[in-house]
Structure 1
Amino acid sequence: MKIVTVEDIVRRFSFEVLTGQDQLARELKKTKVRRPGLEFMDKFDFIATEYVQILGKNEINYLHTLTEGECKLRIGNIVQYDPPCIVITSNQEEPLGLIDYCVEKKIPVLRTYDRMSEVCEKLDAFVVKAMAPESAIHGVCVNVSGIGILLRGKSGVGKSETAHTLIGRGHRLVADDIVVLKKLSPQTLLGSHNDKNKEFLALRSIGLLNVVRLYGRAAFQEETRIALDIELTKWEHNALNNELELESKFTEYIGVQIPHIQIQLQPGRDVAGLIEAAANNWYLKQQGYSAAEDFVKRLEQDFDDSKSS
């Protein structure tokens, strides 16, 4: 898991540092932020520790009604749970005693013009992604009609060439050669580049291409949620069958199960078109539609009609 510090969120969101400039190396341990409530009223038995604490208008307005001593007491209820930092939203004035107390306890206090809801949403998304378990694999990642796809296969099988064809059809490259995978949840796997290979596509006999320079911004996407794992393999005679619907197979990455499909390559076969079909068929299944089930129902209806006639 990547280490994320208070300095990382200060740089990412251009937060103003009110105090604790020498404490920005404090590490974030939790992937969610918290908004204090009952802590201010002394009515709590247990509060989770080490969360970034966010103070919105309601919290700040309440603290402004208190004396400096009372404010210090309420802030103490938060600080005892060791937050890596405290963030004041909507560019509000800090309450009495907050800065002095946090200097004493070595807790950075940050401030932003953004509203509470915006700060919570942005910080949660950033920290979850930054601290997510990750792994790098050999392959290509593309976004086809809004659906993230991993293309895997042996070196030289044609992954990058297939990605180039998909780009020509209006789809987007995410990463070539090295794909960085991040586990955002037990069901969510994110695919991205490693910065060095950002926007680059390597084609044998052609060389290295910058797809943004060649085809425009629409040819590239920073990241995508992985929905399908497609393995490109050499053609094997009589290895394919014509079943109505193949048995579901999955590949596991960092504990996340991803539907797996194998596509065999042969001269003249429209591999890019098959990938588009696989992506669209996956989407229909998410909407509850199965072409195989629909076809079987039609056969059963036709059989029932023939019996009744």
Structure 2
Amino acid sequence: MKTISVQQLVARFKLEVLAGAGKLDRTISQSKVHRPGLEFVGYFDFFPMERVQVMGRKEITYLHKQTEEERMLHIGNIVRYRPPCFIVTYGQGEGLKYLTQYCEEEGIPLLRTVEPTTEFITKLDGYLVKSLASEISVHGVCMNVSGIGILLRGQSGIGKSETAHTLIRRGHRLVADDIVTLKRISPQTLIGTHNETTKEFLALRSIGLVNVVRLYGRKAFQDETRIVLDIELARWRENELNNELELQPGYTDYLGVKVPHIEIQLQPGRDVAGLIEAAANNWYLRQHGYSAAEEFIKRIEEQMEENG
């Protein structure tokens, strides 16, 4: 199971440490945060103690309205379940005496952000989902073509990076070259990104390593993209090209997510980058219910009816 440390959270969101500074190595393994509510009245049957606990104005205001004895009891009960950490939003400071005290005693980090609760939770949830997602690395190139995320694969030396360079020159964006990190952030969603080391770099045979941002500007690169097409570049094989009106889709499985698969065979004179653009745009149209093959067949049927 993947985990991240509370220290990573502090660094990523520039959080202020109010208590438990010596325990920032505590680990987080769940990708959703929790706002304690029923727990304040003693109901813990479904308390997700393994999640980060976020306390906004609603929770702190409720505690302010309790007697000192009630406040100590409610806070003490939650802290003793030892969640990874507590985070207070809106920069709240008043009334945190007992929360700070219990967190210090139990060795649980108490953190604070100035951000509003809802906005912070949205950012934190997104960060945790990606950081804790299952992932694998594959050899290939990841591109965003007209807003469509594509994983470009093929044997070493087949021309993946050169094809990517042509696509960049046409206004599309590089995500990763050579090593592509794939993250499964939901049963239907696969994200492609770089491994930081290769960020912005493209390796071109006979030229060497180039930085696409330095060459073509910020528009030539983006950090990640949702993968919706798996395109494999393959060597030309005589008599094996499909010429059907509409091909039956094949799929490649990555971490349990099925991605539509297309093979493009290479031969001198073929506009591979143009074919990839066509594949991306065609996928987009299919998602919106349009099929060129269906329209073509419909036209033929209409002509046959007109001709009697």
Q: Give TM-score, length-normalised by structure 2.
A: 0.96
Q: Is contact 2:89–2:113 with CA below 8 Å preserved after alignment? A: yes
Matched, 1:171 2:168: no
Counterpart of 2:307 in 1: which secondary structure?
A: helix
Q: Give the equivalent residue in structure 2 for 1:247.
A: 248
Q: Give the equivalent residue in structure 1 for 2:70.
A: 70
Shift of 1:246: 0.6
Q: Is contact 2:91–2:114 with CA below 8 Å preserved after alignment? A: yes
Shift of 1:186: 1.1
CA distance in 2, matches of 1:180, 1:43: 41
CA distance in 2, matches of 1:268, 1:54: 59
Out of 278-287 and 73-82, give the one that drifted further.
73-82
Counterpart of 1:34 in 2: which secondary structure?
A: coil
Q: Give the equivalent residue in structure 1 for 2:42.
A: 42
Q: Percent identity?
A: 63
AA in 2 matched with 1:48: P
Shift of 1:20: 0.5
CA distance in 1, matches of 2:94, 2:160: 55
CA deviations over 1:256-299 (Å, ceiling 9, x no partner): 11100000111111100000010011111111211112222222
Which stretches in structure 2 are left out of the alignment for 5+ residues?
A: none
Aligned counterparts, 1:182-201, within 5 A:
182-201=183-202
CA distance in 2, matches of 1:228, 1:34: 35
Shift of 1:79: 2.2
Which stretches in structure 1 are left out of the alignment for 5+ residues?
A: none
Structure 1 runs (4+) greater than 4 angstroms displaced: none
Out of 244-253 and 71-80, give the one that drifted further.
71-80
Q: Is contact 1:186–1:255 with CA below 8 Å preserved after alignment? A: yes
Q: Would the alpha carbon gap of residues 75 and 81 (structure 1) be closer, same or farther in structure 2, given more than 3 Å must change?
A: same
Q: Give TM-score, length-normalised by structure 1.
A: 0.96
CA distance in 1, matches of 2:176, 2:35: 37
Shift of 1:43: 4.0
Q: Is contact 1:48–1:81 with CA below 8 Å preserved after alignment? A: no
* Length, aligned pairs only: 307
Q: Is contact 2:82–2:106 with CA below 8 Å preserved after alignment? A: no
Counterpart of 1:107 in 2: which secondary structure?
A: coil
Out of 113-122 and 40-49, give the one that drifted further.
40-49
Q: Over aligned residues, Cα RMSD in angstroms?
A: 1.3
Q: Give the equivalent residue in structure 2 for 1:294.
A: 295
Out of 61-70 and 85-94, give the one that drifted further.
61-70
Shift of 1:131: 0.8
Out of 76-85 and 187-196, give the one that drifted further.
76-85
Aligned counterparts, 1:49-68, within 5 A:
49-68=49-68
Counterpart of 1:268 in 2: which secondary structure?
A: coil
AA in 1 matched with 2:279: A
Q: Give the equivalent residue in structure 2 for 1:30.
A: 30
Q: Give the equivalent residue in structure 1 for 2:109.
A: 108
CA distance in 2, matches of 1:172, 1:88: 38
CA distance in 2, matches of 1:301, 1:73: 77
Counterpart of 1:33 in 2: which secondary structure?
A: coil
CA distance in 2, matches of 1:139, 1:193: 11
Out of 71-80 and 153-162, give the one that drifted further.
71-80
Q: Give the equivalent residue in structure 1 for 2:141.
A: 140
CA distance in 1, matches of 2:10, 2:103: 17
Q: Give the equivalent residue in structure 2 for 1:92.
A: 92
CA distance in 1, matches of 2:38, 2:218: 48
Counterpart of 2:269 in 1: which secondary structure?
A: coil
CA distance in 2, matches of 1:4, 1:43: 28
AA in 2 matched with 1:156: G
Q: Is contact 1:47–1:81 with CA below 8 Å preserved after alignment? A: no
